[in-house]
Amino acid sequence: MISSSTIFCSTHTWNLEQHSAEEDSDLEIDSRIYDRFLALLNISSDGPPTQSYITHFWDPSPSLRRDDNGDDVDLAWYQKTTLLESRTMIEAGTTGMRTWLASLVLAQYLIRHPDLVRGKRILELGSGIGFLGCVVATLQCLDHDYGAGTVWLSDVNETVLARCQDNVRLPCNTSSSHPNVRCCFLDWSAALDPDRIVVTKALLREEISPHLILGADIVFDPSLIPPLVAVLNLALRENPSASAIIALTERNPATMQKFVDAISNSEGLTWEQMDLGVINTAFVEGGPDTGNAVLVFKIQASRGTN
């Protein structure tokens, strides 16, 4: 793939050559420009694309400014979320180093319904590099009437967690000013392990005690379903007012059905599929999930399971 730098250099070198030919046949282009162009052409394209800082612009109050100015966009109204992320599907043995479609869709929904997170204790499962967490933390920072709330971002991969923490703390992100953002290691399989369940239960119910649990694109492998359901059961079972919103990209209908069946067969949980209505998915960019449906589920503790 030709890089944007190569295209830029090629275009402007050609323009300079045309201009010099028209204006003065003796005018020469600085040799350093050609040196730079040749250096870009010699860069090997055999390896994967390098990591990049990606900035997403989003309107924190889309309902207030819908169609106010037609096609005009005033960036003064917009928040931005910047992340260092991979441009490949898998890096360092994990899919957690980039932002996936379901995170973008769920973020857009929360932006339109900020009351779900304002002043609340939020836990994200499988937070990845932190896009959704940054958006939630920003929404809490913008709502001065309810206080900052708390945002817990969890993952099982230490490298991913470190990147998540770095992204949340980027000075250009409003989330960096949030006083109560925590990044924590959470292995869902501990909820199925008698030797580790006590510590995990204490973390979920006593330390975090979430009002709302979020998860996006966290069921890409059927083997993740039993431990995920166990974690949700552990976190929600004694807190009937709490709920989870899980957004999943439907890549494999069989995997999606296994998730639905597992929740349905759980003694402590109930679920419903949410209708998000028509959402302007302003975040969505081209990628491997383009065209796939995103299904969103609300999960709560069954009555009488406290």
- List per-block mean pLDDT (blocks of 10 residues) for the chain, which spans 306 residues: 51 58 58 62 59 87 60 76 74 57 92 94 96 96 81 95 95 95 98 97 96 95 96 92 95 94 94 80 58 91 73
Q: What SS3 state is found at 162?
A: helix
pLDDT at 1: 45
pLDDT at 144: 77
Q: Are the C-beta atoms of 220 and 254 separated by less than 8 Å?
A: no
pLDDT at 290: 64
Q: Which two tokens stand for residue 12?
A: 């402007």
H-helix segments, 124-274: 131-142, 158-168, 197-202, 225-236, 253-265
Query: Widest CA span of the chain, in angstroms?
Result: 89
Q: How many CB atoms within 10 Å of residue 240?
A: 14
Can you give the pTM of this predicted structure?
0.79
pLDDT at 200: 97
pLDDT at 71: 60
pLDDT at 98: 65
Q: Are the C-beta atoms of 245 and 213 separated by less than 8 Å?
A: yes
- Quote the CA–CA distance of 212 and 179 in Å, as a whole number: 19
- Exposure string for 57-79, b = 16+ CB within 10 A, e = fewer: ebbbeeeeeeeeeeeeeeeeeeb
Angle, alpha carbons 83-256-254 (nearest 5°): 130
List strand residue ranges (DSSP E) for the chain, in order. Answer: 52-58, 79-85, 121-125, 150-155, 181-185, 212-216, 243-249, 269-273, 294-301
Q: Which amino acid is at 213?
A: I
pLDDT at 76: 77
pLDDT at 143: 83
- Quote the CA–CA distance of 94 and 182 in Å, as a whole number: 21
